[in-house]
Amino acid sequence: MLASSPRKLGVEEEFHLIDLKTRRLTTRAPELLARLPDDAYVDELQRCVVEVNSGVFTDLADLRSDLAWHRSLLVDAAEGLGVGVAAAGSMPLALPTEMQVTGSLRYQRMLADYQMLAREQLICGTQVHVDVPDRDEAVQVANRIAPYLPVFLALSVSSPFRADGSDTGYASARTLLWLRWPSTGPAAPVSSAAEYDTLIDDLVSSGVISDPGMAYFDIRPSAKLPTLELRVCDSCPRLDTVILVAALFRALVEREVQGLRAGDKGLKVVSTMTRAALWRAARSGLEADLVDVTVPRSRLAADIVEDFVRSLRPQLEETGDWDTVRELSAAALATGSSAARQRQAFQRRNRLTDVVDQLLAETADRVSPLPEGETLVPSAHAGRSHSSVATRPRRRWAARFARRGSESELTWTGSGELDEQQLLAWRRDLHAHPELSFEERRTTRVVRDHLASLGVEPVLMPGGTGLWCDIGPETEHCIALRADLDALPITEATGLEFQSTVPGVSHACGHDAHTAMLMGAAAVLVKYPPTCRVRLIFQPGEETTPGGSVDTIAAGALEGVSKIYALHCDPNLEVGKLATRSGPITSSNASVTVRLWSQGGHTARPHLTGDLIHAGAVLITGLASVLDRRIDARTATVLTWGKVSAGQVGNSVPESGELVGTLRSASHETWANLEPLVTDTIGELLAPYHVRYELSYLQGVPPVVNDPDCTADLREAIESVVGFDHLAEAEQSSGGEDFAWYLEQVPGAMARLGVWEGVGERQELHQPGFRLDERAMIHGLRTLVALTRLGDQTE
């Protein structure tokens, strides 16, 4: 039989404090708390957080009114200080160095004991209390409820961003941070209050936790109150979400208490599966599948939530909450999670401040309508009442790509289609007819004819190799996409049917694929015009020093360009994956050639000669050693000798010799200032020997340094094409790329396109046997097109 009256409810909410000018977290909790009643508003571990404690109620409407009143009072007091209040698991704008731990003795001890763990907790949660005065029942019910915790987490997820603004790929990154504490988990693995107290005492005695309040289980008997406390949820910006979670939790507690008293064993799920289901909820929220722990198997989040709500209908009807919960759960599934709404807010204009403003508005119940023309995209289950889940606007264009029929057909869900065989044909034709740097006349003609067939008038480079064109309206904002045309002086040894027909020349660099992908992008952009101007740059001479981009820039190809992007084939990544990084992604290069002369002679009398080979050996080892000690190792500056030539016979000291090497560095500053150190060091190393020398120092390209904002755009485009799970963090390459010269002029970013087929040995670039999996080109083409669609979300 159900309880004669509903169990009492209470809620604790944690709120971030936001500087309304900068939209960053601010540590002004002490000032704010001084303006508020001390019975409901308290400090937290971080001085950028305030906790609010509700009253105790049996009626949901009364609880809602109390929470709304406390929020309003908090918001008004904060605004008087120029501070905003946001309920969310995490915030996207913060400077960790500005954050401070609250000065109480307990929190300072936690900082001393846990160090980084305490400092990084820039997170907020919502806790719900339901009265369960019998502590033995509370402990046992906690374990019975643990399998259902993922549903509560999925409903509340609101922390997709790190404090540095990067997207974690999770709906609740707070969950991942929270699990780092040493005393977490779904519920304590005990069966009585005595066992629970012993466990907590042992944890305190061990020194792992400092007090019983640090037993951070997702559900636990309260350390101070006769309640069972739900702690798994992110802080919820919308009050409706808090009320929904509170009502469901009370109903679940009631059901499990009655089941316990009736001798029902309840749902038995091993803790590993519960943890796995919690991870899935933190990863996906309401926007994808959750784990149905009763089977177990993966199911739509909406289906699991609906089944869960229906299973509690008897308890909800008994408390009079059924109609309210039914409406709130339907609304939650229709509008999607806070994490999805935050990502959508960011995608409209690519501004993290828009995310903060949305959270401030939702927390204060001042939600603004979507910008004019903005719509929510229904999920794949359109037609079901629960499925109008908001999706990320940047995925709209990528979502129009779909496979249909055979593997050779790439279609858009519009009126046209591109035959993938054409993409392959372009690449194979270029591969079979490679041309060296600044000799790419046939290649240029192939590209020019293709653009002309699309009705586009390209601009030919002055030397007759290379070209560019504009597609789209004449807007002030112009995005450039770059491909390179040239091949390498390498004899191909792939055995492909379409291998190089030019002796000693081959596309062992992947430039043929780069060019074909950009040709394909041109076809898409003409059929589906972008809203801003897009410049396609087909550049000659990338494989030279200092690179054909210098000539391309001089010819005016960057005039009016706001941002520039490029892809490069990477045989270390499997097909379907792309990688990028903010900051340096390639290294600089410079060529060092040292020619040596001295008096030769017999090896029996080296003292009468300059002993040129010995002097060269000193230079080979000595220059590298000096650079190791004179240059910061973090710049990854490396000298490698690739050619050493001197002498003809073993008993004769030669009169001349030559050393040729390359210098590479991850540091732009080191690249710019390295030559004087190399010049001086060579002279000092050779001074003790009777050896004359001539130094040729050819400064090559600087590092490619990806702009942070452009990198964020590139990541978003990649994610929209292949998904977050196939977006990798690129390692910095020690190779050089003349794309760097473009980035000396305008912001931009480069990504690596996985071209390894996934089986067999990887064939490195610039090797006779290099071959790429052509399936990768579709991903590259889509990414290039997706980059041009980012502007569609900009006002």
Cis peptide leading into 30, omega within 30 of 0?
A: no
Task: Name the band, by pLDDT with cuts 50, 70 and 90, for residue 119.
Answer: low
767/493 Cα distance (integer angstroms): 9
pLDDT of 22 higher than 60: yes
Query: Could you tell me the two tokens for 791?
Result: 């502007």
CA 309-311-315 angle, 5° bins: 90
Query: Could you tell me the two tokens for 44?
Result: 């937290």
220/184 Cα distance (integer angstroms): 10
C-alpha distance across the termini of the chain, in Å: 59
Domain with CATH 3.30.70.360 in the chain: 588-699
Strand spans (E) along 394-451: 401-403, 409-412, 417-419
Task: Name the band, by pLDDT with cuts 50, 70 and 90, for residue 107.
Answer: low
537/571 Cα distance (integer angstroms): 24
**Which residues are bridge partners to 761 per DSSP?**
none
User: Which residue, 145, 201, 156, is CA-closest to 178?
Assistant: 156
Q: What is the DSSP letter of 134?
A: -
Task: Name the band, by pLDDT with cuts 50, 70 and 90, for residue 611.
Answer: confident
Strand spans (E) along 324-474: 401-403, 409-412, 417-419, 459-460, 467-471
63/54 Cα distance (integer angstroms): 8
H runs (alpha helix) in 225-285: 239-261, 271-284
Q: Specify the range with the lowest mean pLDDT, choosing from 86-95, 189-198, 365-374, 595-604.
A: 365-374
Q: What is the DSSP letter of 264?
A: -
Average pLDDT over residues 36-52: 84
Domain with CATH 3.30.590.20 in the chain: 9-363
CB within 8 A of 345, min separation 6: which ones? 354, 355, 357, 358
CA 313-317-315 angle, 5° bins: 60
pLDDT digits (tens, 9 = 90+) for 367-402: 543 333 333 332 222 222 222 223 333 333 333 333
Position with higher pLDDT, 594 vs 734: 594
CB within 8 A of 138, min separation 6: which ones? 132, 193, 221, 227, 228
pLDDT digits (tens, 9 = 90+) for 227-257: 999 999 999 999 999 999 999 999 999 999 9
CA 118-121-123 angle, 5° bins: 160
**Which residues are bridge partners to 638 per DSSP?**
664
Q: Are 152 and 28 in contact (CB under 8 A)?
A: no
156/244 Cα distance (integer angstroms): 10
Residue type, 6: P
382/314 Cα distance (integer angstroms): 30
* pLDDT value for 294: 85
* pLDDT value for 396: 32
Strand spans (E) along 83-136: 83-86, 125-131
- Helix axis angle, 511-527 relative to 441-453, nearest 10°? 10
Cis peptide leading into 546, omega within 30 of 0?
A: yes
User: Which residue, 283, 290, 140, is CA-closest to 221?
Assistant: 140
636: left (phi over 0), alpha (psi -120 to 50) or beta: left
User: Which residue, 284, 113, 330, 292, is CA-closest to 203?
Assistant: 113
Task: Name the band, by pLDDT with cuts 50, 70 and 90, for residue 106.
Answer: low
Architecture in CATH for domain 9-363: 2-Layer Sandwich (3.30)
CB within 8 A of 263, min separation 6: which ones? none
pLDDT digits (tens, 9 = 90+) for 451-500: 999 999 999 998 899 999 999 999 999 999 999 999 999 999 999 999 99
DSSP-based three-state secondary structure for 143? helix
Average pLDDT over residues 356-375: 68
Query: What is the tally of helices (H) and strands (E) in the chain?
Result: 25, 30
* pLDDT value for 408: 31
> In angstroms, how far is CA 68 from the centroid of its own chain?
35
Question: SS3 for 552-572, per residue?
Answer: HHHCCCCCCCCEEEEEEEEEE
CA 207-211-214 angle, 5° bins: 95
Q: What is the DSSP letter of 439?
A: -
CB-based contacts of 365-368 (< 8 A; 24+ apart in sequence): 365/68, 365/71, 365/239
DSSP-based three-state secondary structure for 413? coil
Q: Are strands 184-185 and 83-86 parallel, antiparallel or unpaired?
A: unpaired
Domain with CATH 3.40.630.10 in the chain: 409-586+704-793
pLDDT of 98 higher than 90: no
* pLDDT value for 386: 28
Phi, psi of 241, rounded to the nearest 5 degrees: -65, -40
Residue type, 739: F
pLDDT of 559 higher than 50: yes
Task: Name the band, by pLDDT with cuts 50, 70 and 90, for residue 118.
Answer: low
Class of domain 588-699: alpha beta
Which residue shows structure tokens 């828009």? Answer: 354
603/632 Cα distance (integer angstroms): 40
DSSP-based three-state secondary structure for 221? strand
Query: Could you tell me the two tokens for 303?
Result: 């289906």
User: Which residue, 787, 771, 794, 789, is CA-closest to 566?
Assistant: 787
**What b-and-e string marks burial along 597-631, b requiring 16 or more CB atoms within 10 Å of the CB?**
bbebbeeeeeeebbbbbebbebbbebbbebbeeeb
Which residue shows structure tokens 């067939």? Answer: 453
Homologous superfamily (CATH) for 409-586+704-793? Zn peptidases (3.40.630.10)
Task: Name the band, by pLDDT with cuts 50, 70 and 90, for residue 99.
Answer: low
DSSP-based three-state secondary structure for 602? strand
| Average predicted confidence (pLDDT) for the chain | 86
Query: Could you tell me the two tokens for 566?
Result: 């490029």
